[in-house]
Amino acid sequence: MYIKKSRVIASIIAVVLLTAVLTTLALNPFGIENTGKFLKFSAISRIINSAYYDDIDRGESAEMAIAGVAASTGDPYTQYYWGDTATEYMEQLQGDYCGVGMYIRCDTEENLITVVSSIAGSPAEEAGITTDDKILKIDGQVYTGEQLNEASNYMRGEEGTEVTLSIRKAKDNSEQELTLTRRKIVIENVSSGMLDYGIGYLNISQFTENVSSNVKEHMENLNNEGMKSLIIDLRNNPGGILDEAVNISSMFIETDEIVTYTLDKNDRRNEFKSTDFLGDGKKYDMDIVILVNGGSASASEVLTGALKDYEKAYVIGEKTYGKGVVQSVMAVGIDNILSVTTSRYYSPNGVCIHGTGIEPDRTVEMSYENMVTDINKGIGNDIQLNEAVKFLAK
């Protein structure tokens, strides 16, 4: 009887141990081949929690660990946001927040914070902060590229307060200290007006929610004012929501044509086709010039690539940024957001511009300071815009 009981107990212990091992393997996020590292991660976490001189917020530790998994991809666009950072991310997508007004990313090569573009009319633009400038310090504190979220959070703040940025300028590598005053950043996604020779001017600053509906209204107004040709200004537009770019492309490209397509790591193809966005099969058919520069990225490049490939537009300016990857943004839990790069996108002719950008049909270089986004101020020294007017006036 004793021997039978011992065998039963031994069997139970074996089952418990096997269950524990299988559970560990099932819950291991690093894969079976890295089980040792998973156990080390768990052990070190416990050591730190017990040995550290103060209490540790275990919830914050877990959030940072998740963010570390996203960062391990080496992709600056794959990010995990929680708490206030998640709120700020959504505010930026919606185009309404308080800060200095610029889009930034992590430069993984130098581990520095890099400016993608400044928002038109923002404190950052007024201070002359431009594409590829590096942010080295904020109020004297060094920030690395890995601290992108912390830096973004710090630069936001109460309206009227000041923040000092140490900037390394892209054009000559000189370092400057610039003091900016935070203010409400309300992004005017679309502005328009009429120029000489019946030329309509349309500026799109970012592809946020409902921007295509705004463009539709502006185009109707320009058309009613006698527009004969069009300039679409995408300079310093960092991109945004892909569907908005597809909708705008649909105003010019025949219905059911490919605007862009994506390929994931398994070469699965997802096509985005033009729609009858204007209704009744209506399309705008006129001479178009698109203005771009190094700050034109992502969805801006989708729109530019589509109209260029279908020979609907002539492109003037400087080579675009070269962000040809697509992010899926999803809610994780109640207040957390995960942005994951899921695929590369291609122009209708099969060109992937990621890391290379789109070369304009006519290259016209110009200093950032002379760029005009509000034609009511007069186009003045904006030689790219002047070049577009000359081209269309012919």
Confidence of residue 21 (pLDDT cuts 50, 70, 90): low
Phi and psi (nearest 5°) for 344?
A: -100, 145
User: Is this prediction's pTM over 0.85?
Assistant: no
What pLDDT, on a 0 to 100 scale, did the predictor assign at position 82? 82
**Which CATH superfamily is 96-186 part of?**
PDZ domain (2.30.42.10)
Return the higher-pLDDT residue of 246 and 101: 246
- Percent of the chain residues topping a pLDDT of 90: 51
Return the higher-pLDDT residue of 146 and 112: 112
- pLDDT above 90 (res 368): no
What pLDDT, on a 0 to 100 scale, did the predictor assign at position 319? 96
What pLDDT, on a 0 to 100 scale, did the predictor assign at position 157? 85
What pLDDT, on a 0 to 100 scale, did the predictor assign at position 289? 98
The residues that are catalytic are: 298, 309, 323
Residue that is written with structure tokens 């509000």 in the block: 374
Return the higher-pLDDT residue of 144 and 77: 144
Same topology for domains 96-186 and 190-393, yes or no?
A: no
- Average pLDDT on 178-191 reads 87
Confidence of residue 285 (pLDDT cuts 50, 70, 90): very high
Note the pLDDT tens digit of each residue in 22-61.
555 555 666 677 777 777 888 888 888 888 899 888 888 8
Query: Which of 95-109, 217-231, 273-287, 319-333 has the least mean pLDDT?
Result: 95-109
349, with CB counted inside 10 A (0-12, 13-18, 19+), is exposed
Please provide the average confidence, as pLDDT, over all residues in the chain: 87
What pLDDT, on a 0 to 100 scale, did the predictor assign at position 10? 56
- Average pLDDT on 327-347 reads 86
Confidence of residue 143 (pLDDT cuts 50, 70, 90): very high
What pLDDT, on a 0 to 100 scale, did the predictor assign at position 11? 59
What pLDDT, on a 0 to 100 scale, did the predictor assign at position 66? 81
Dist. CA 133–CA 20, nearest whole Å: 52
What pLDDT, on a 0 to 100 scale, did the predictor assign at position 93? 61
- Rounded to 5°, the CA angle 45-46-48 comes to 65
Return the higher-pLDDT residue of 19 and 160: 160
190-393: CATH, from 3.40.50.280, 3.40.1160.10, 3.90.226.10, 1.20.1440.130: 3.90.226.10
- pLDDT above 70 (res 326): yes
Domains of the chain by residue range: 2-56, 96-186, 190-393
What pLDDT, on a 0 to 100 scale, did the predictor assign at position 14? 57
Query: Which of 169-173, 177-181, 197-201, 222-226 has the least mean pLDDT?
Result: 169-173
- pLDDT above 60 (res 15): no
- pLDDT above 90 (res 314): yes
What pLDDT, on a 0 to 100 scale, did the predictor assign at position 234? 96
Note the pLDDT tens digit of each residue in 190-201.
999 999 999 999
Measured between its terminal Cα atoms, the distance across the chain in Å is 105
Note the pLDDT tens digit of each residue in 50-93.
888 998 888 888 888 888 888 888 888 888 888 777 776 776 66
What are the residues whose beta carbons fall under 8 Å from the beta carbon of 12, sequence distance 6 or more?
Answer: none
Question: CB atoms < 10 A from the CB of 163, how many?
Answer: 18
